[in-house]
Chain A
Amino acid sequence: MESILEARDLVKRYPVGGSEVEVVRGVSLSVKRGEFVAIMGESGAGKSTVLHLLGGLDQPNAGEVIIDGVPFGSLDDEHASMTRRTKTGFVFQYFNLLPILSVAENVALPFLIAGVSVAEKRSRVEEVLEMVGLSEKVNHRPDQLSAGEQQRVAIARALAGEPAILLADEPTGNLDYATGAEILDILWDSSERLGQTIVLVTHDARAAAYADRVLIVRDGQIIDEVRLGRRANHDAGPLIARLAQLGL
């Protein structure tokens, strides 16, 4: 299977006080089309930073990210934005939606940004909203939805533009267990049925257990990889056992 996302020797440093802290130290990875990959690690391990670099939200100090054959580092703002718009979809932990827009408008946001008429994409918006089970709430405002519903809208938005890769940063971090499981089921379903490539950042082994493969990050480096394989059963046991071996 071809690689759709590739990272080579990524390094990211941030200035802290008068010095610099290296939060990502030579990360390399490759994600194949249709693959569901989780990046796990403790707080401050650098997993979110890796995700930001993979999605082109931040520029590495060294190394390169290639999405669907497009090297991000060589792009200006216009093309980088277009690449994000067409190749990636994002789901974040908090406040994912624009409170001033309705559910349908939030989902249609990528089309709006691309200059495509919302009316033109109405059927696609309805399709993804149906997929996440929110067909009845197209005209609701975000503050009229529960946290789980808001996150489902965010997933619908991320999938609306049929991106090459969906990047999710702790999508269940702000939800209770049952609601989080619903969100993970939706993500897995999109991967299983639609072949959607997914990179999920989480510190929760139960969430990571949905993935085909789990990359363990510590101190800005990938220290291990756990191959779980594609399975309908998302038992976290084997992963937890491996994490325990690593002392996590």
Chain B
Amino acid sequence: MRLSALAWRSLAARPLRTGLTLLGIALGVALVAGTFLANQASAEAVERAARDLYGNADLRVRSFDAQIGLTQRAVDTLRTLDGVEAAAVVAERRLTLSTLPGDNERVFPLLVIGVDPADEAAVREPALAAGRYLSTGAPNEIVLGVAYAREKGLALGDELLLTGSRTEAPVLTIVGLLEPTGFGALANGAVGVMDRSVLSEAFDVPAPITAVDLVVVEGEIDVVQEGINREMAEPFVVETQEDAAAELGAAQAGFAGISFLFGLVALAVGAFVVTNTLAMTVSERTREIGLLRAAGMVRRQIRNLVLRQGLYLGVIGAGLGVALGVAIGAAMIAILGATRTVLVSGLPIDSQALAVAFLVGVAVTMFASWTPAADAAAVPTMDTLRASQRPGRSLWSRLRWIAIIEVAVLVVGLVIYPLTRGTSPLATIVVAVAVLVGAGLAAAFALEPLGRIVSSPFTWFFGAGGYLGRANLSRDRARAGLTVAAMTVALGAVVALGTTSASADQTADRWVNSIMPGGYAIRLPIPVPIDDFTPVFASVTGTKVASPVALFPAVLDDDGVRREVGMAAIDPTTFEDEGSLIMVEGDRGVAFEALRDGGAVLIPQSFASREGLTIHRNVTLDLPGESAAGFEIVGIVAYSLPGRTGEASVIMSLADAEALWGVTDASLWAMVRQPTVTAATYEGLVAAAAADNAGEPLSAQQVADRLTRSLDELIGLYDALALVAVLIGALGIVNTLSLAVSERVREIAILRAHGMTVGQVQAMVVAEASIMGLVGGLLAAGAGVLMAWAIVATSSHADFAAGLVIPWPLLAAVALMGLGISALAGVYPARRAAKLSMVAGLKGYE
């Protein structure tokens, strides 16, 4: 008989164990394949969104200050440049729309883009999920992002009003729904596109022209760029499709890397299960191996026999995993699309990615098979023919290969990572996997001592079952240890996610509260005169202070290095009095005093560490066309107000901004409540004032919720991935205990002969599983926190500036989850144990 046939028969003879192992491999590979496809969909979506945003345009000329925009004269200049074939104007305004007045009136904040439909056709053709695009000569039409419309319950034909606009503003009809690409990809899909003329006429101040997209005659790009530089008389930035892709892609940062990490987690858990299963099979078949050796089979053939089994498991499992991975990828893409957390395209069937997932699965399985194969080959022939086999090697010598396998997984991960096109720091993955390796090995070594400690309740609850269940853990420490290691790694991933999420949530809360004095604000769609509007907002009932904040871009010059920065001009006294802005470096009192005195700025910590700026350093700030001024950095703050692209702004005083650059308009007012008015009442009053002025009311809580919602939705998806890993770990427990029951048939018969009931036998197996799960859960709590620490420590500081937050209830829940899932996993082997015939068990050895 050929070796391959022997290997195959060995697998076929144990259908349950083989099936469970295949399922474990398949799930691991499926997660890798699924995350590959989701990452691919994300990357393709970004590319497509940028491509569709530009359409035929080769260049985008963007206004330096999006709130001021380009003038009509600049637009005309660009249109008439030599080499420009077509030009399309884009105006932007954040505003609120509402349904028609009535009982069910609803209000929707979103980004509205104004275009000239007549010019659009020459530049781009938006992708529509339903309906049609804006038509020339029908200005009262609007198209909305499809996911946003669905979320808000809006449909084609519905009518909307521009809230706070002039009373004669026309009713807008929804004529189309945009796919999440091009304009539809902006602002997470919370976007509408309408006729620019109507958008501008609806307000006292026209919507600022934020960009002009230019279609350039082939070969004339340099001529056009020279013309732009020569003719444009106002501040601008020239961008290309690549710039748009980079900006859109920045929002995806982290997704690819972290999802890939969870693919690795699942594979690592799968590797534990494979190693354990094959080791168990070898242990069980030791006698057979001895017979084969006695019959003349050489060690190499024995090793190859086990490796072939690994190969078969790997090929079949990975094949199934790839198929399952397509389904998981589709599900991930559907979830991401529905929640609008990450830009995704349709399901890409990327044969290269699937082939890589398949090969990774086979490679990991082969790695995991190596130790059992080497063990099988190394067993002395005479030992194998003895009736009773006992593990002869130390725990470490049996497990050191696992460390090598894990390192191999890491190496494979690092090699294939570029395929995911992720932008997450590799350091995060490297450290996280290192934590997993440590956790897995620690679990194997800590099982027995920790099991002894945690087993008391089981002995109390299950009696003899609990006592013997705990004792059984010492029977084969390597096997039980590996089983627990798999569960530890999987549950550790759940803990890491929860801890990371809690840390990010706390950061968001602290961030928002620190930049929003009083906890409330009104944001207007355009900058308006501070002197006119401050009295209006200050007169809102219950207001202690209405403090304007002017947001505008500037250029920061640090020893000749110039970079565009967002500026936030504030009233230092309000921020100081309300305890806003968390100083990381610098004396708070001195810093605010310096701001009031002038010539000083505060910079956000993320910006300081990225640019290498330190306190007391002098920098120069200027606005295009305005004079430059020198400033001293008097403090570094943990968080700052977000600028145009979401990056934290440099903070200066309003007095400086007005004196140096004539800034007299603002679009944001911080609203500080008098203690005599309740928070709920004041929130309503602020909302009313915002509506009266075509503005958007903000509350710290609401903004923090919005900030964390996207992350929470992503975390939810990752949790689902981690739970698949937990499922693989549970399969490992079923596998291990099923074999254990088979091995202990005689022992169980002896126990029954001495009066143990069926229930006690079941309790013994379930207790054994439960103790393994509880130990795994407890170790996972520690490993998960460590992994979260690694993620937090290697991520940009702004994301987790509040530091590591340990969610104790989650840790307790995961420990209990380990207990519960493992107990469930123990039910099947327990039932098998209960059904064993005492006589058959005794006869097996007599």
Binding site for B on A (CB under 8 A): 48-49, 52, 55, 57-58, 77-78, 81-86, 89-90, 92-96, 98-101, 105, 109-110, 112-115, 143, 157, 169-170
Contacts and interface: CB of A to CB of B under 8 A. Distances in A.
Contacts of B463: 112, 115
21 contacts: A52-B842, A58-B837, A77-B759, A81-B752, A85-B754, A94-B846, A95-B388, A95-B746, A95-B747, A96-B750, A98-B471, A98-B747, A98-B750, A100-B471, A105-B471, A112-B464, A113-B464, A114-B464, A115-B463, A115-B464, A170-B846
B757 A81 contact: yes
Interface string B371-413: 0000000000000000110100000000000000000000000
A67 to B, nearest CB: 13
Contacts of A96: 750
A15 to B, nearest CB: 12
Contacts of A114: 464, 755
A157 B474 contact: no
A84 B760 contact: no
A138 to B, nearest CB: 16
B758 interface: yes
A92 B842 contact: yes
Contact of B755 (A93, A100, A105, A113): A113
Given A77-B757, A81-B758, A92-B846, 10 more contacts: A52-B839, A52-B842, A81-B756, A81-B760, A84-B752, A84-B754, A89-B754, A95-B750, A113-B751, A170-B846
Contact of B754 (A78, A94, A110, A169): A110
Contacts of B390: 99, 143
Nearest to B749: A57
A170 B837 CA distance: 20
A144 B750 CA distance: 20
Contacts of A83: 755
Contacts of A58: 837-839
A84 B753 CA distance: 7
A43 B387 CA distance: 21
Given A96-B750, A98-B747, A98-B750, A84 B755 contact: yes
A91 to B, nearest CB: 10
A60 B815 CA distance: 47
Residue of A55, A90, A96, A100 most packed against chain B (CB within 10 A): A100
Interface in B440-476: 463-464, 467-468, 471-472, 474-475
B756 A113 contact: yes
Interface residues of B, number: 32
A83 B760 CA distance: 15
Interface in B50-77: none
Nearest to B746: A95
Residue of A48, A109, A157, A169 most packed against chain B (CB within 10 A): A109
Given A100-B472, A100-B475, A143-B390, A57 B753 contact: yes
B174 to A, nearest CB: 70
Given A52-B839, A112-B467, A115-B463, A81 B755 contact: yes
Contact of A55 (B472, B753, B757, B837): B753
Given A52-B839, A94-B846, A115-B464, A77 B755 contact: no
A171 to B, nearest CB: 12
A85 B755 contact: yes
Nearest to B841: A57
A169 B838 CA distance: 14
B808 interface: no
Contacts, number: 95
A51 to B, nearest CB: 10
A113 B754 contact: yes
A145 B839 CA distance: 26
A57 B748 CA distance: 12
Contacts of A49: 839
Nearest to B471: A100
A89 B474 CA distance: 27
A85 B464 CA distance: 13
Given A57-B839, A115-B464, A90 B846 contact: no
Contact of A57 (B387, B758, B838, B845): B838
A110 B755 contact: yes
Q: Is the interface of B mostly helix, strand, loop or mixed?
A: helix
Interface string B629-672: 00000000000000000000000000000000000000000000
Given A86-B755, A90-B753, A100-B471, A113 B839 contact: no
Contacts of B753: 55, 57, 84, 90, 92
B481 to A, nearest CB: 15
Contact of A48 (B467, B471, B758, B846): B846
Residue of B468, B474, B475 most packed against chain A (CB within 10 A): B468
A96 B214 CA distance: 89
Residue of B749, B752, B754, B758 most packed against chain A (CB within 10 A): B754
A55 B755 CA distance: 11
B474 A100 contact: yes
A95 B746 CA distance: 8
A84 B590 CA distance: 86
Contact of A99 (B387, B475, B843): B475
Residue of A55, A92, A115 most packed against chain B (CB within 10 A): A92
B685 to A, nearest CB: 69
Contacts of B750: 90, 92, 95-96, 98
A31 B562 CA distance: 105
B839 A78 contact: no
Interface string B731-761: 0000000000000001101111111111110
**Closest 9 A/B residue pairs (Cβ):** A85-B755, A81-B757, A100-B471, A57-B838, A84-B755, A58-B839, A112-B464, A113-B464, A90-B753
B464 A77 contact: no
A151 to B, nearest CB: 13
B464 A90 contact: no
Nearest to B834: A77
A153 to B, nearest CB: 12
Residue of A57, A83, A96 most packed against chain B (CB within 10 A): A57
Contacts of A113: 464, 751, 754-756, 760
A157 B754 contact: yes
Residue of A78, A98, A101 most packed against chain B (CB within 10 A): A98
Contacts of B754: 84-85, 89-90, 109-110, 113, 157
B458 to A, nearest CB: 14
A94 B845 contact: yes
Residue of A55, A58, A143 most packed against chain B (CB within 10 A): A58
A240 to B, nearest CB: 24
A82 B756 CA distance: 8
A96 B751 CA distance: 10
Contacts of A52: 838-839, 842
Contacts of B464: 112-115
Interface string B749-775: 111111111111000000000000000
Contact of B471 (A81, A101, A157): A101
B153 to A, nearest CB: 60
Residue of B464, B749, B842 most packed against chain A (CB within 10 A): B842
B787 to A, nearest CB: 34
Contacts of A115: 463-464
Contacts of A94: 387, 746, 845-846
Interface string B823-842: 00000000000000111001
Contacts of A99: 390, 475
A122 B316 CA distance: 55
A26 B537 CA distance: 104
B728 to A, nearest CB: 28
A82 B755 CA distance: 6
A169 B464 CA distance: 25
B456 to A, nearest CB: 13
A205 to B, nearest CB: 20
Nearest to A83: B755
Interface in B758-801: 758-760
Contacts of A81: 752, 755-758, 760
